[in-house]
């Protein structure tokens, strides 16, 4: 039973445009949502997070939106840069459970 789904395995965006990565979840106990970025041959690195008490969190070019009623979150990157080309994982957490549940990832490619 897949609790976290990133339905787009890949996404290609032109440099300077907006990248939107989506994530859907089924477990209503998730209360903290993290996005990780992974380059080849490296471990995932934390990018941005959002608590379930918020619907938006912004950090520079990165913004995460959370729609709890729809159990959906999205990561917006604007403007997209070539260095943003990576695999992005959505990883929700249940408070206090100390465990992340990863989606399968979306491979983002930024074209010059």
- Contact set for other proteins, span 60-89 (CB under 8 A): 89
As a whole number of Å, the CA-based R_g of the chain is 13
Rounded CA separation 91/34 (Å): 5
For other proteins, which is the closer residue by CB, 7 or 14?
7
3-state helix, strand, coil in the chain (%, to 5): 5, 55, 40
Which of 74/104 has CB closer to other proteins?
Answer: 104
Q: Out of 27, 51, 67, 111, which residue is the one contacting other proteins (CB under 8 A)?
A: 51
- Cβ atoms 54, 66 nearer than 8 A: yes
Residue ranges that bind other proteins, judged by CB under 8 A: 4, 9, 31-32, 34, 36, 41-46, 49, 51, 89, 93, 95-96, 98-100, 102-105
């Amino acid at each position: 039973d897949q609790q976290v789904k990133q339905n787009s395995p890949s996404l290609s965006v032109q440099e300077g445009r907006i990248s939107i990565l989506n994530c859907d979840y089924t477990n209503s106990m998730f209360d903290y949502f993290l996005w990780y970025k992974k380059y080849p041959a490296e471990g995932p690195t934390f990018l941005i997070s959002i608590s379930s008490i918020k619907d938006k969190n912004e950090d520079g070019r990165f913004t995460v939106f959370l729609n709890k009623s729809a159990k959906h979150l999205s990561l917006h990157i604007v403007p997209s840069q070539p260095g943003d080309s990576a695999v992005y994982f959505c990883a929700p957490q249940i408070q206090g459970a100390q465990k992340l549940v990863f989606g399968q990832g979306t491979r983002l490619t930024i074209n010059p």
